[in-house]
Amino acid sequence: MEVKNKVIIVTGGSSGIGLATAKLLAKKGASVVITSRYKDDIEKVAKDISGAFAVVADMTKPTDIKNLVKKTMNKFGRIDAIINNAGQPAQGNIENFPIDEYRKNIELNLFGPTLLMQQVIPIMRKQGGGSIVNIGSGTTKMALPGVGVYSSGKSALHQLSMVARKELEPDNINVTIIHPYLTATNFGRDRHAPKTDDSTWQSRPGVPPADPPEKVAGVIFEALQNGNEEISLVPVR
């Protein structure tokens, strides 16, 4: 899909990978719709991105997801692509992980993207096609102790994406799953909290350094253009 003049929703556009993606897609000529739970944050970000439209949405809330689609349609009259990027980590061994916290993580990392897909598929079908890019995780390519909850939700999103790709092929709707490697963002940190010098997590002994979010944004752009099924950024050793 050519990105120029297309309407693209990027969930979680206030920070990290989503922010870098929104900037890149706007630079390539798309009208980007960006979301955050925080009105001030997303309006401030939108001011710096040409033509960006800010929508406040908690991606765990079905009413917010419906409202996001409604506002986008009212503003632009179409939706050509979505980047299901909003997400949060979950850290802790399986044995003691509180089930309510597990549920919350799944609500955001799996059900949020699914609900947005369900909202936009009929619109894309009517338009004659579209693109869906789901952001998974490199943790699904390994068995890392302490991230079972997070990686299980992202693994489910991976499988869902592969099946959706097949189901939607006849409608000219492309579905891609991208697995970012460790990326230098605010992931797992409260960006509103006072800054601490915790940059060491980005370079751990024996582990390849974190990618910049702009690298992932470039891969998302590539996926929109080429319609890849799956892209992993995990370094091959």
Ligand X SMILES: NC(=O)c1ccc[n+]([C@@H]2O[C@H](COP(=O)([O-])OP(=O)(O)OC[C@H]3O[C@@H](n4cnc5c(N)ncnc54)[C@H](OP(=O)(O)O)[C@@H]3O)[C@@H](O)[C@H]2O)c1
Residues marked as catalytic? 150
CA-CA-CA-CA dihedral for 103, 104, 106, 109, to nearest 10: 180
Q: Using the rule CB under 6 A, is 67 a contact of ligand X?
A: no
Task: Out of 86, 175, 177, 224, point to the residue binding ligand X (CB under 6 A).
Answer: 86
Q: Using the rule CB under 6 A, is 138 a contact of ligand X?
A: yes
Q: Which is nearer to ligand X, 138 or 148 (CB)?
A: 138
Q: Using the rule CB under 6 A, is 108 a contact of ligand X?
A: yes
Task: Out of 8, 9, 15, 176, point to the residue binding ligand X (CB under 6 A).
Answer: 15
Q: Using the rule CB under 6 A, is 174 a contact of ligand X?
A: no
Q: What is the smallest separation between the CB atom of 126 and ligand X, expressed in angstroms?
A: 26
Q: Which is nearer to ligand X, 123 or 233 (CB)?
A: 233
Q: Using the rule CB under 6 A, is 148 a contact of ligand X?
A: no
Task: Out of 6, 31, 53, 60, point to the residue binding ligand X (CB under 6 A).
Answer: 60
Q: Which is nearer to ligand X, 113 or 130 (CB)?
A: 113
